[in-house]
A and B are shown apart, each in its own frame.
Chain A
Amino acid sequence: MKIPKTFFLLLIIPLFSFSAHKYYLSLTQIKFKPETKSIQIIINVFMDDIELALNKDYNIDLQLTTKKELPNNNVYFEKYLREKLQFTIDGTPKKFNYIGKEYENDLVYFYLEIENIATVKNIQITNKILTKHFPDQQNLIKTKVGKVDKSILLNKDETSGTLEH
């Protein structure tokens, strides 16, 4: 199948309108805590981007931080994160608990926890957050196990990676 040149052109066009402000980056911070035998995860995303993505995917109107904010929105956030995020620790897929979210300026922070983890040698993560609606979305993953920090950058073409500790 021959793919026309415009196909690629369209994919990169958002770069050009990047003349003033907009950039697309989320951060996922993953930390192993031996004292609680858990992996704690904090994710931050831009509020306007996540709002747009959820509104489109679930046909809702979140209106975050306004008086008309959709009251049960944690349901949608959790659903979205479960669709877009998978963790595999030392070869075993693990479920995470959705602890909650908070807002800070133009960011939304999500707090997730994976329990009953005794040791961590490697963390495989799949992260498709925002890549469907924002072709330039980059998802930065940082892990901390003991004193060692590792990081990888994921995007729509590379949605998963493994961090060795």
Chain B
Amino acid sequence: MKKIGFLILSLVFLTSSYSQITTKGHTNENKFKQMYDLLATPNEQHNASGAPGKGYTQQKVDYKIDITLDDEKQKISGEETIKYHNNSPDNLEFLWVQLDQNMRAKDSKTPDINPTKIPEKLNKNRFEKSYVDEPFDGGFNIMSVTNIDGSPLSYTINQTMMRINLVKPLASGEKFEFNIKWWYNINNHREDGGRSGYEHFPKDGNNNYVIAQFYPRLCVYDNVEGWQNDQFWGRSEFALEFGDFTVNITVPEDHMLGATGVLLNEKEVLSKTELKRLAEAKKSFDNPVIIRTQEEAINFEKSKATKTKTWKFFAENVRDYAFATSRKFIWDGMAVDINGKTVMAYSLYSKEANPLYGDHSTRAVAQTLKTYSQYTFDYPYHKAISVDGQMGMEYPQICFNPGRPNPDGTYSDRVKYTMIKVTIHEVGHNFFPMIVNSDERQWTWMDEGLNSYLEMLAELAYDKNFPMSRGLPKNIVNYMSGDQSKIAPIMSKGDNVYSFGNNAYGKPATGLWILRETIMGKELFDHAFKTYAQRWMFKHPTPEDFFRTMEDASGVDLDWFWRGWFFTTDVTDIGVKGVKKFYSSSNSDNTVNFIEDTHEGLGYTTNHSKYHYEITYEKPGGLVMPIIVEFTYKDGTKERKTYPAQIWRYTDDEVTKVFSSSKQIESIVIDPDLETADVDISNNSFPREKSDKFDKFKKEIKG
């Protein structure tokens, strides 16, 4: 009976706006329209489900590299033989090679694209450093590019890219081998910044090296971009092919070194004691075992060896290579059980980073491998290393992390949690993008956003009271509600966005958090996310592959969410506009009348057996989101109701919905747990909350 009443009510609502004569139409502006206008059409390579199609191809690039580190001059020289496998169906007239260090060359154009002004004030140190006559020359010096028989090979350098001019096109299915010889000056990353470099310790005269982008590396040639040869301007990171690396690294013989790959000659480079401790570490699943102690490291840093040692590695199926080396390094490790397979978690750190690193670094690595494996795939490599590199940067099996204790060895919770947080984040990058190998040069969010989301789960697993900051919906509000002229959609190239951290890390992570916690639920989300990770493990996914797989594997239509959250800068703002109260009375002719109680506020003038509230929700925000409503009854009990986002499909600005109960409602709150990143919560409560954050704080202080 009552249902009929509601039906009539909603019919009136729907039909009331059809009286004018139409003169002008419009295109589909519905927030729920399909995404054909925004996504690439699926094809044989990237199919409609978001999986690799039957025509998907991927190149393979193998490297044989010999590297020598000159500790005295902070210089690296190297020789490499690159074997390029053309697995694509296309013939290639040339190959493109990345020369990332040229971003630091004297003639780098990177400084030229950044607008500058004279600042009012400048840190003195910084000021003095700027007045040097010769800028630091950190670009690659290419000594030779040759065929495998030693004859010269034609090449053209265009800033950070080098074209190898093949005499005849490399046919589909063919391989091409060639050599490059080079050297470059290593930058001091503590003073000049960078994702690689050295740190100098004036006290003992030593350097810690964390080295990456140190060799000319092949560009990606894929099914969607062809050659990915966009310049490296300094921010948008890397696109790299998988391959096998055979690398020999020559360093002073008193150095401790960690690198991507399996160490082939451990008996030549480690002492007998170290080998024994390493064997113990491989059996220790609960606590890290120290392999080179602080005392030993302090002894090494007192003098400088004149002889060298060569560390030999083989890394199978990795997309990049990095290493860290110093005579200052302490080394510890512990075993991690990943679904029955033992993986090693290691840390390399100078005494300046201890005891913080000794206490937490290797444990954080272990936790990351466990949590990420649980939500994606079993970690396929044999190890992961965290290095006291005093930055935050990721490479396959090795990453460089920040955080040091005070000189007296104490450290605050904040320093501790920051160090653990970044360590989890960088180790987590082993999964995205080192294995799920998206194109970082184009889509920063595909690795940073996904990784920042999983990082949150690993943090909570490490410590259930972990202070979470980035990623929670309420913490993205300040950014999303900011000046629209300084906000870019997530679907933008990293080089071109404002507020990079919020754009490419925070907002996408929050989007995934909202999908999991509020829109899809953990079970559906986790299955779909895992499906994406497993489909694209050791492959090159595109944004479409992610969006499609999340829908394909969950059965949840998310076009509206991707469109709003990823392709626009719209915000969430949902509130209660007004409430009308009704009670019913039965008539003798078998009908029921609804009678409005016009008394102000939510309270009824008289008691009834059933209370009917006609609530109008407003949506000043451009995003559509579920309406999460909490009703608090007069007796203090609460009830929640969530209306799916699709409630907004007919009207985008406001919608009216009836809620009935046998108890009277005292107050109504929208999104009580701040799950939807609502940018203005002043309209979220009814009756309106009178005191805001400021009033509450002032009252607390002043009493």
Contacts and interface: CB of A to CB of B under 8 A. Distances in A.
Interface of A: 3-23, 25, 27, 31, 40, 42, 44, 47-48, 63-66, 99-100, 102, 105-107, 109, 111, 113, 128, 131-133, 135, 138, 140, 142, 151-153, 156-157, 159
A16 B131 contact: no
A66 B475 CA distance: 23
Given A6-B136, A18-B235, A99-B698, A156 B194 contact: no
Contact of A20 (B135, B189, B392, B469): B392
Contact of B467 (A14, A105, A111): A105
B126 interface: yes
Given A21-B505, A99-B698, A16 B392 contact: no
A-B CB proximity, top 10 nearest: A20-B392, A23-B501, A7-B130, A17-B193, A13-B193, A157-B117, A66-B412, A40-B694, A16-B234, A151-B483
Interface string B451-490: 0000000000000000111000001001101110010000
B57 interface: no
Contacts of B114: 8, 12, 15
Interface string B122-136: 110010011111011
B111 A21 contact: no
Contact of A23 (B391, B426, B500, B698): B500
B538 to A, nearest CB: 23
Contacts of A31: 692, 694
Contacts of A47: 414
A132 B123 contact: yes
A64 B414 contact: yes
Q: Which of A3, A19, A63 has the most chain B CB atoms inside 10 A of its CB?
A: A19
A23 B502 contact: yes
A140 B192 contact: no
Given A21-B425, A25-B499, A65-B412, A4 B483 contact: no
A20 B422 contact: yes
Interface residues of B, number: 62
Contacts of B235: 15-16, 18
Nearest to B695: A40
Given A4-B135, A105-B468, A9 B111 contact: yes
Given A4-B130, A106-B467, A20 B425 contact: yes
Nearest to A157: B117
A142 B412 CA distance: 33
Contacts of B501: 18, 21-23
Nearest to B189: A17
B393 A140 contact: no
Interface string B230-241: 000011010000
Contact of B111 (A8, A48, A107): A8
Contact of B392 (A21, A107, A128, A132): A21
A9 B231 CA distance: 18
Contacts of B121: 131-132, 156
Contacts of A102: 697
A48 B418 contact: yes
B14 interface: no
Contact of B123 (A6, A15, A23, A133): A133
A135 B129 CA distance: 15
A107 to B, nearest CB: 8
B392 A23 contact: no
B119 A156 contact: yes
B493 interface: no
Q: Which of A11, A48, A128 has the most chain B CB atoms inside 10 A of its CB?
A: A11
B393 A135 contact: no
A157 B414 CA distance: 30
29 contacts: A3-B130, A4-B133, A5-B135, A6-B132, A6-B136, A7-B131, A10-B130, A12-B114, A13-B194, A16-B103, A16-B235, A19-B392, A20-B393, A20-B422, A21-B501, A23-B499, A23-B500, A25-B502, A40-B694, A42-B694, A44-B478, A65-B414, A106-B414, A142-B481, A153-B482, A156-B119, A156-B120, A157-B118, A157-B119
Given A8-B114, A17-B193, 15 more contacts: A4-B135, A8-B116, A10-B129, A13-B192, A18-B501, A21-B425, A23-B501, A42-B693, A48-B414, A65-B414, A99-B702, A107-B469, A131-B119, A153-B482, A153-B486
B413 interface: yes
Nearest to B477: A27
B116 A111 contact: no
Contact of B426 (A7, A20, A128): A20
Contacts of B694: 31, 40, 42, 111, 113
